Amino acid sequence: MDYRLYTTCSFEQNEIAAAHSLISLALREDLDSATDLTSALTISPEETACVAINARKNGVLCGLPVAEMVLQAIDASLKIDIKNKDGSLITAGETIAIISGPTRQLLIAERTVLNFMTHLSGIASLTNLFVQEVTGTSAKILDTRKTHPGFRLLEKYAVRCGGGQNHRIGLFDAVLIKDNHLAARKKSHPQESLAQFLQLARTTYPQTTIEVEVDTLEQLQEMIPGEPDIILLDNMSNDLLKQAVKIRNEQNPNILLEASGSVNLQTVRQIAQSGVDRISIGSLTHSAPAFDIGFDWIE
């Protein structure tokens, strides 16, 4: 099948495990160990039907593997014929998949399938808009830890489907020294330089990415001798970002610069044109609007 793929996004084992947990929770919320009272009242158990999942706007598709898992969790006899795949560019009116099986089970599946797919496709589509805005620059679009509890792995998967990249998954897989860490460290180690603090991080976690946050050019210049892998430039103006890039290029071009704070679709291109390597955006996951998808019955 000729999918109009924007990007290839692999659904990994840890993301599958996260989906199983969320699906179990979602179905418990809806059914509470009972049944769909309305469907049981109105529809015979022998009745079958066919449903089309249709896009109602343009965007990037995400969430089909989760939808398949929802159907299997409800009733293994539910069948899905996939017409697109995650990472596909889809247009309004396009059929994403067709589901067939017992009508009662289709009705049980409807809201849970749509909840996952509209949310994840919304993230993928918003990410794609940011990625398109920085086309032609060297900047990459990244997510953050500003995710919904329990949904982090799926939301970060959706970012990849939209063409973005993942920042650290959690507190456990990278060092990110922020202003509060620096303030707390300074209180207990007032004589320690920032470079010494960075060296401690490097010695303690030699195989781990070390990133540090700054919000002034003075702090940037203090951090560069410590040779972090990444310096996060927090809420800097475009003029300051350009100056930061110039300083980095002159003193240590191997350090990556990441811009963050107050990034939106109107500002992201100018930020990218400053020469930074990465732009991290919390709104990709915490504020993406739901993507409009229909669960349309086929006569």
Which residues are part of the catalytic machinery? 111, 146, 178, 213, 234
Phi, psi angles (nearest 5°) of residue 204: -75, -40
Residue 165 DSSP one-character state: B
Cα angle 193, 195, 199; round to 5: 115
**CB of 85 closer than 8 Å to CB of 11:** no
Backbone angles phi, psi at 60, to 5 degrees: -115, 130
Q: How far apart are CA 210 and CA 215, in angstroms?
A: 17
Give the whole-angstrom CA distance, residue 144 versus residue 168. 7
- Residue 294 in tokens: 């229909």
CA 94 vs CA 79, 84, 182, 282, 287: distances in Å: 19, 9, 51, 30, 25
CA 89 to each of CA 58, 125, 241: distance values in angstroms, whole numbers, following the listed order = 8, 9, 33
Residue 99 gets the label, from left (phi > 0), alpha (psi -120 to 50) or beta, of beta
DSSP-derived 3-state class of residue 70:
helix
CA distance linking residue 213 with residue 181, whole number of Å = 10
